[in-house]
Chain A
Amino acid sequence: MTFSWSWDTTFDVLPDMLSAFLRVTLLATVVGSAIAAVVGLVVAMIRRLAPWWIAYPVHGVMEFIRMTPVVIQLLFAYYTFQQFDGLTIGIVVLGIHYASYMAEVYRSGIDAVPKGQWEAAAALSMSPRRTWQRVVIPQALRTTVPALGTWVISMFKDTPFLIVIFVTEMVQTAYASGADDFMFLEPITLAGLIFLAASYPTALLLRRLEVRLARY
C-alpha cells in the first residue's frame, strides 16, 4: 500500500495539535521546570546543610526517583492521588522527577565554587544566609544554567509520557485525530516536527549561552 502526504489532513489536524501543544505540552514544561528548578535547589542545599539524618533519607529518595521510570511514577501518583486531575499530577511528577537530575546539577555547580569564595565571605563576616544568597548561588548558577536548560528540553520531550495518565497532550491529540481512519502519517509526523522545531533552536541557544557564560 502506498501512501502520500495529504496537506488537507495536515491543515485539519494542525490547529488542534497546536492548541494542545500550548495548553498542555508547553504548560507542563514551564510549570514542571519551575518545580524541578526549585525542588532541585532545595534538595541540593539539604544535602549540603541538613544534619545527616535528614540529608541521607532525602538523598536516598531522590536517587530512587532518578533511577526509576517516570512512566511508572506517573501511574503510581495518578492512582494514589485520585482527587487531582491528570494534568496536575503529571506536572508535579515530571517536576519532581527532573528535580532529582537538577539537584545533581546544582550540587556540582556548588562544588565548583572555589573554596576561597567561602573563606572570603567568612572573612567579611557575612552571615551564612548572605553567603549563599550573594556569593555562592550567583556563581553556581553561572555554571548550572546551561545544564539545567538541557534538562528542561529533556522534560519537554518527555511530556508525551503523560498519555499513560490519560492527559491529551499533543501526541495523544495527533493519535486521536488519526485513530478513526488510520490517518496517522500526517499528525504523528507533524508532532515530531513540532518537537524538533521547538527543541533544536532552544538547544542551539543554550550552547551559545554556555559559551558566553564560560567566558567569565
Chain B
Amino acid sequence: MGENLEILAERLPQFADGIWVTAQLTVLGGVLAFVIAVILGLGARTENILVRGAARTVIEFFRGTSLVVQLFWLFYVLPLLGYRLDALLCGVLALGLNYGAYASEVVRGAINSVPQGQWEAARALSLSPVRRMRKIIWPQAWSIMIPSMANLFIMLLKGTAVAYIILMHDLTWESNQLRQATGDTFFSFGFGMIVYFLIALVIVLIANLLERIAKRRLGQLPAVTKRTRASVDLAGSHTAGTGGRG
C-alpha cells in the first residue's frame, strides 16, 4: 500500500491532467448538451409541424444511435469525408449531441408541467410569447428541470469515459496507467472511481444549490430558514435585513 501511494504521488501530475481532460469533456459537453436540449426541447413543442418533426427526428436519431457509435463516427468516419476534428472536440460533440437529445425531453416535460393558469395569466397580461417564456414560464420550468438535469449531467460525466476508447488521456486512461505502474488493480481503479464519485458529488451539490436559488426566486422556499433565523436571533440585531422575498 505504501509503495502504491508513492507511485501515485509520483504520477499525480499526469493524474491531474487526466482529471482536467475529464473535466473539460464534462463541462463543455454539458454546456453543449444544455444548449441543444433547450433548442430541441422548445422545437419539439412548437405548433409548426415542420419544426416539430425536425426536432423529433433529431432527438430520436441521437437517442437511438449509441454514444460510442456517434463518437466513432465523428472520430473515424468524418475525417474520410474531409473533416478531421480534434479528439477532445469529437468527445464534446458526441456527448453534447447524445445527452442533449435526452435532456431535450426534460426541457419539454418541464415546460409542459408549468400549470396552465400561468400561461393564461401571461396571455391575459398580453405578454409577447418571448417575454412570456422568458419571464413567466422558463423560471418555473427551470426549477422543475434541475433534478433531472443533474441526473443527466452525472450520466454525461460517466459517459466521458468513452474518451478512453479513442485513446484520450482522461481519468480512466490515467487509472489504467496507474494499474500498469503499480500492478494493483483494486488500488488504481478504486482511486479512479473515487475521483469520479467526488466529481459527481460536486455536481449534486451544485444542482441542490441551483434548485434552492431557483425555488427561492419563485417564492417557493422561505428566504430565511428556521435554522438561520434562530441563529440570527441569537446573534441579536440582524433580523431586519434578512426578510427577503419569501
Contacts and interface: CB of A to CB of B under 8 A. Distances in A.
Interface of A: 1-3, 64, 67-73, 75-76, 79-80, 157-161, 163-164, 171, 174-175, 178, 182, 184-185, 188-189, 191-193, 195-196, 199-200, 203
B172 A71 contact: yes
Is the interface on chain B under 10, 10 to 19, 20 to 34, or 35 or more residues? 35 or more
B144 interface: no
A67 B65 CA distance: 23
Among A159, A164, A188: residue with most chain B CB under 10 A:
A188
A111 to B, nearest CB: 16
Contacts of B64: 157, 195-196, 199-200, 203
A195 B162 contact: no
A16 B222 CA distance: 62
A175 B164 CA distance: 16
B61 interface: yes
A160 B159 CA distance: 12
6 contacts: A67-B201, A76-B189, A178-B76, A188-B69, A195-B69, A196-B61
A38 to B, nearest CB: 23
Nearest to A191: B69
A183 B191 CA distance: 39
A188 B66 contact: no
A3 B81 contact: yes
B245 interface: no
A199 B67 CA distance: 13
A182 B72 CA distance: 13
B80 A171 contact: no
B60 interface: yes
